[in-house]
């Protein structure tokens, strides 16, 4: 039998979701960092796919061990800084590895009590970053996921297309709720590592403020306002991408119980849900390359 003519396409491999909790104990006031690190490497790896020759492969177990060792040697201050260290290590350390993608989820903790060693998880939002690094360029995308927001009024939805399957009633007053996943691409990397924290804090607050301050006729309109606010307030950010599920709240019919419901009691639906996604980008933004992959 003659084999089908095929070739190896784009590929990468790595160690996903290495969870690291790092403590600094150099005083009675401890510091905690809690991250989930996912690595994907690519390069001259055709042989391992085509013949099983692993001479070019850095084991994923080695990648995991590098994460733990770097957490000890360098600490984990900002997720972007740690991701950059790892990405540069993998590309510089192995001639067969030409590109590294390092993604980090960072889980927040806040200090509680008076002991200096007690903490409570914050959230549910999660700080995120993705770093792409090779000989040609370095791209950093920061972000946040599961940032849950709700406006109890100042949202309308009407004037939309209608066909024979449309049952949705127009409304001039509704709850608007979402769980924001947002990412923003840096055109300029902060010279000071503390700049990553400032950028994240500013962007998160911009997202919240724009959501709260926009009188919304559509979730699409709100999305654009949120992305624009991030770019307006951070010259070093050139592009913002947002994914906003519409967390529907439906008024409950209380008439069977002899009760009125004047926008006071709602059923929070789990699924299905509308999903609104979009990008806000500067006209002069540099090419993204592999930044969003």
The residue ranges of DSSP E strands in 51-196, in sequence order, are 97-107, 109-111, 119-121, 126-134, 138-151, 176-186
Residues 159 and 216 in one domain: yes
| Alpha carbons 56 and 45: distance in angstroms, whole number | 6
Closest-CA residue to 45 (of 54, 35, 36): 54
| Alpha carbons 114 and 29: distance in angstroms, whole number | 10
Last residue of a domain, one of 134, 154, 181: 134
Last residue of a domain, one of 90, 117, 134: 134
pTM of the model: 0.94
Q: Is 128 a catalytic residue?
A: no
Residues 145 and 260 in one domain: yes
- Could you identify the residue written with the tokens 């790892």? 86
Last residue of a domain, one of 134, 158, 190: 134
Tokens of 166: 């449309």
Q: Is 2 part of a structural domain of the chain?
A: no
Q: For residue 82, what is the enclosing H or E element?
A: helix 79-93
**DSSP class of residue 256?**
G
Q: What pLDDT, on the 0 to 100 scale, is given for residue 164? A: 98
Q: Is 186 a catalytic residue?
A: no
Q: Which of these is catalytic: 15, 99, 204, 249?
A: 15
Collapsing DSSP to helix, strand or coil, 31 comes out as strand
Q: Which of these is catalytic: 48, 60, 96, 98?
A: 60
Q: Is 248 a catalytic residue?
A: yes
Residues 143 and 116 in one domain: no
Q: What pLDDT, on the 0 to 100 scale, is given for residue 240? A: 98
Closest-CA residue to 126 (of 104, 111, 110, 145): 145
- Could you identify the residue written with the tokens 């849900």? 273
Collapsing DSSP to helix, strand or coil, 262 comes out as coil
Q: Which of these is catalytic: 99, 139, 186, 248?
A: 248
Which stretches in the chain have pLDDT values below 50?
A: none
The rounded radius of gyration (Å) of the Cα atoms in the chain is: 23
**By residue range, what is the domain housing residue 29?**
12-134
């Amino acid at each position: 039998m003659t084999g089908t003519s095929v070739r190896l396409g784009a590929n990468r491999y790595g160690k996903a979701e290495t969870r690291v909790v790092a403590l600094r104990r150099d005083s009675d006031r401890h510091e905690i960092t809690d991250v989930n690190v996912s690595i994907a490497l690519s390069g001259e790896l055709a042989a391992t796919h085509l013949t099983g020759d692993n001479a070019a492969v850095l084991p994923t177990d080695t990648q995991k061990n590098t994460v733990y060792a770097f957490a000890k040697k360098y600490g984990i201050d900002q997720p972007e800084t740690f991701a950059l260290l790892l990405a540069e290590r993998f590309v510089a350390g192995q001639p067969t590895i030409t590109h590294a993608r390092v993604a980090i989820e960072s889980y927040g903790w806040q200090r509680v009590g008076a002991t200096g060693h007690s903490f409570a998880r914050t959230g549910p939002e999660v700080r995120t970053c993705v770093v792409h690094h090779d000989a040609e360029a370095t791209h950093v995308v920061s972000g946040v996921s599961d940032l849950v927001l709700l406006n109890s009024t100042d949202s309308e939805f009407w004037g939309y297309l209608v066909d024979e399957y449309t049952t949705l009633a127009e409304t001039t007053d509704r709850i608007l709720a979402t769980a924001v996943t947002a990412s923003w691409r840096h055109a300029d990397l902060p010279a000071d590592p503390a700049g990553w924290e400032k950028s994240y804090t500013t962007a998160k607050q911009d997202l919240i403020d724009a959501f709260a301050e926009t009188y919304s006729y559509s979730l699409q309109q709100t999305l654009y306002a949120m992305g624009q606010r991030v770019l307006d307030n951070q010259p070093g950010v050139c592009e913002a991408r947002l994914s906003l599920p519409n967390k529907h709240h439906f008024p409950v019919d209380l008439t069977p119980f002899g009760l009125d419901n004047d926008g006071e009691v709602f059923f929070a639906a789990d699924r299905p849900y509308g999903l609104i996604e979009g990008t806000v980008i500067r006209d002069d933004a540099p090419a993204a390359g592999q930044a969003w992959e």
